[in-house]
């Protein structure tokens, strides 16, 4: 690293100091989800199906929380950079309150419609019963889950990525412990099956929310809560958050037709896709999320400090670090795909397709991390519309469009899906790269900060 320019080394050191707690936190979150699957697999195949189908619906409140979190980290980082503590704290307060309120419909929906939602996906009666129960329990804490996502990103926007890590790692470890204990009846706890697994997740959501809210309210963090009074801040938060929420919803909705497309090629193809994607997400997901958060923080704070030139340089520097690290991991996964796949299955047909999908994701890793990093940088500048357009056009034009055209219309089968996946990531990276280079995102951020400043003085 000593051969690199001093400025680049300094940016990379700061980015890594911000990113590694996020990476650690996401690693434990992934471990928690994996434990849920392992424990429910000991009950019955219907239990695994129930949890899997319920998790499809659980992604919708997740997307809302992440979208509001993007708005919170943008305003929090910019106002931290310009020393506007009052408007920063109001933005955080509005985001947390809005997150809690938007979780209420999910809580009611899980209680009233849990079974119907699972049945809508064509599950059997036992899976409907278990999935509806699990969904009702987990959705009951949707307000808390939203608060967790928003509060964590609010703190990260101030440059504090460690407090959310400490809280989330603790909560996820307790979640894993109680999933095993309540699910299987270990550690002197009652055996509650799927209900116990859901109860462990719900309890962790509530605990994490209380700890993060307590951290913000205390004097141990820079952030704080105030009574919301400024409609300008609330409006800006919504304007920044909505495209990210829409982007997340589009990604979730696209999974339904894409999975149906793969099932049309055969069960082994779909199983191979699930394994190949899970492998990629397991080894690269935490890294990418860490770089996205770090990019939002450094770009937002530099813009708040009135230095768009540094913000632009830092955004490209984060993307380059992502390509170097995540790209290397992706290529290693591509070369060692067969060995990794056989840790999951020994079915010959599934192995064949899982290896192909894992290699596709591995080769596409540089493009994907470029998209994620520059999307984070643009989010830090309050420009969430560009990643939304990039994601939607990539999903529609390549993941769904090209996969269907090549795989079904032209008869290339699964090969069309491989091209669609890789093509979507390359397209998304090109779109955000073009707009990050040529767009007026720095001016947009400056205008929004000026508007918040005028409102605060009024």
pLDDT tens for each residue of the chain, 458 residues long: 566 788 998 999 999 999 999 998 888 887 787 788 778 877 777 777 777 778 888 888 989 999 999 999 999 999 999 999 999 999 999 999 999 999 999 999 988 888 888 887 676 778 788 888 999 999 999 999 999 999 999 999 999 999 999 999 999 999 999 999 999 999 889 999 889 999 999 999 999 999 999 999 998 899 999 998 889 999 999 999 999 999 999 998 898 888 889 888 887 888 788 778 877 877 788 899 999 999 999 999 999 999 999 999 999 999 999 999 999 999 998 888 888 777 766 778 878 888 899 999 999 999 999 999 999 999 999 999 999 999 999 999 999 999 999 999 999 999 999 999 999 999 999 999 999 998 899 999 999 999 988 866 66
Secondary structure element (H or E) that encloses residue 451, with its range: helix 441-457
Residues 391 and 456 in one domain: yes
Residues 431 and 325 in one domain: yes
Structure tokens given for 248: 């997340």
- What backbone phi and psi angles, to 5 degrees, belong to 219? -90, 5
Q: What is the DSSP letter of 4?
A: S
| Residue 199 near residue 209 (C-beta atoms within 8 A) | no
Cα–Cα distance measured from residue 398 to residue 430, given in angstroms and rounded to the nearest whole number: 13
CA distances from 195 to 141, 186, 413 (A): 14, 15, 40
Name which of 233, 175, 209, 158 is nearest 35 in CA terms.
Answer: 175
Secondary structure element (H or E) that encloses residue 86, with its range: helix 85-120
Tally of domains in the chain? 2
Number of CB atoms found within 10 A of residue 136's CB: 22
Residues 247 and 216 in one domain: no
Which domain-ending residue is among 159, 194, 229? 229
| Residue 268 near residue 349 (C-beta atoms within 8 A) | yes
Question: To the nearest 5 percent, what fractions of the chain are helix, strand and coil?
Answer: 85, 0, 15
385 burial via Cβ count (<10 Å: 0-12, 13-18, 19+): buried
184 burial via Cβ count (<10 Å: 0-12, 13-18, 19+): middle
Residues 247 and 223 in one domain: no
Name which of 276, 320, 260, 309 is nearest 442 in CA terms.
Answer: 309
Number of CB atoms found within 10 A of residue 13's CB: 11
Quote the domain boundaries for residue 381: 234-458
Residues 245 and 203 in one domain: no
Which ranges of 218-266 would DSSP assign to H, the alpha helix?
231-265
3-state secondary structure of 340: helix
Residues 213 and 268 in one domain: no
Which domain-ending residue is among 229, 261, 281? 229
Which domain-ending residue is among 176, 196, 229? 229
Residues 217 and 272 in one domain: no
pLDDT of residue 458: 60
Cα–Cα distance measured from residue 398 to residue 22, given in angstroms and rounded to the nearest whole number: 30
What residues contact 115, with CB distance under 8 A and at least 6 apart?
Answer: 128, 129, 131, 132
Q: What is the DSSP letter of 224?
A: -
- What backbone phi and psi angles, to 5 degrees, belong to 146? -60, -45
| Residue 140 near residue 56 (C-beta atoms within 8 A) | no
- What backbone phi and psi angles, to 5 degrees, belong to 3? -80, -10
pLDDT of residue 2: 61
Cα–Cα distance measured from residue 368 to residue 214, given in angstroms and rounded to the nearest whole number: 35
Q: For tokens 């809580």, name the residue.
A: 107
3-state secondary structure of 123: coil
Cα–Cα distance measured from residue 216 to residue 209, given in angstroms and rounded to the nearest whole number: 11
Cα–Cα distance measured from residue 368 to residue 333, given in angstroms and rounded to the nearest whole number: 15
Cα–Cα distance measured from residue 6 to residue 11, given in angstroms and rounded to the nearest whole number: 9
Q: In Å, how far from its chain's centre is CA 280?
A: 14
Residues 174 and 258 in one domain: no
What's the predicted TM-score (pTM) here?
A: 0.89
Residues 225 and 238 in one domain: no
Residues 204 and 239 in one domain: no
Residues 239 and 211 in one domain: no
pLDDT of residue 226: 92
Cα–Cα distance measured from residue 60 to residue 297, given in angstroms and rounded to the nearest whole number: 25
The alpha carbon dihedral of 142, 197, 109, 389 has a sign of: positive
What residues contact 453, with CB distance under 8 A and at least 6 apart?
Answer: 84, 87
Residues 191 and 329 in one domain: no
| Residue 244 near residue 389 (C-beta atoms within 8 A) | no
């Amino acid at each position: 690293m000593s051969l690199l320019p001093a400025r680049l080394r300094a940016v990379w050191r700061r980015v890594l100091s911000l990113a590694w707690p996020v990476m650690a936190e996401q690693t434990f979150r992934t471990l928690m989800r994996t434990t849920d699957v392992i424990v429910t697999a000991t009950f019955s195949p219907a239990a695994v199906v129930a949890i899997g189908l319920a998790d499809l619906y659980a992604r919708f409140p997740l997307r809302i929380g992440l979208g509001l979190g993007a708005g919170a980290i943008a305003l929090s980082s910019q106002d931290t950079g310009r020393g506007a503590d009052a408007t920063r704290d109001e933005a955080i307060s509005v985001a947390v309150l809005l997150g809690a309120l938007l979780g209420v419909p999910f809580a009611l929906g899980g209680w009233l419609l849990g079974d119907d939602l699972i049945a809508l996906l064509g599950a059997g009666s036992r899976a409907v019963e278990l999935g509806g129960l699990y969904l009702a329990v987990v959705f009951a804490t949707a307000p808390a889950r939203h608060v967790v996502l928003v509060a964590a990103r609010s703190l990260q926007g101030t440059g504090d990525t460690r407090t959310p890590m400490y809280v989330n790692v603790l909560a996820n470890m307790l979640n894993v412990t109680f999933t095993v204990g309540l699910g299987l009846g270990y550690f002197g706890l009652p055996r509650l099956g799927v209900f116990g697994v859901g109860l462990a997740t719900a309890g962790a959501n509530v605990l994490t929310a209380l700890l993060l809210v307590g951290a913000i309210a205390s004097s141990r963090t820079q952030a704080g809560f105030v009574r919301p009074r400024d409609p300008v801040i609330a409006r800006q938060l919504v304007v920044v958050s909505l495209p990210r929420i829409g982007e997340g919803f589009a990604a979730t909705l696209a999974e339904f037709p894409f999975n149906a497309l793969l099932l049309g090629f055969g069960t082994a193809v779909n199983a191979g896709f699930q394994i190949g994607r899970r492998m990629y997400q397991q080894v690269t997901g935490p890294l990418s999320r860490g770089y996205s958060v770090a990019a939002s923080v450094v770009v937002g704070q530099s813009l708040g400090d009135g230095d768009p030139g540094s913000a632009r340089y830092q955004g490209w520097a984060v993307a380059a670090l992502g390509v170097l690290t995540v790209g290397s991991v992706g290529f290693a996964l591509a070369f060692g795909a067969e060995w990794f796949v056989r840790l999951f299955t020994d079915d010959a047909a599934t192995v064949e397709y899982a290896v192909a999908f894992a290699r596709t994701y591995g080769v596409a890793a540089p493009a994907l991390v470029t998209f994620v990093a520059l999307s984070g940088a643009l989010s830090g500048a309050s420009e969430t519309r560009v990643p939304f357009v990039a994601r939607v056009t990539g999903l529609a034009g390549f993941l769904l469009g090209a996969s269907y055209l090549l795989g079904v219309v032209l008869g290339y089968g699964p090969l069309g899906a491989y091209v669609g996946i890789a093509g979507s990531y390359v397209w998304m990276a090109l779109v955000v790269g073009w707009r990050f280079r040529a767009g007026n995102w720095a001016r947009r951020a400056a205008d929004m900060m000026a508007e918040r400043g005028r409102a605060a003085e009024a």
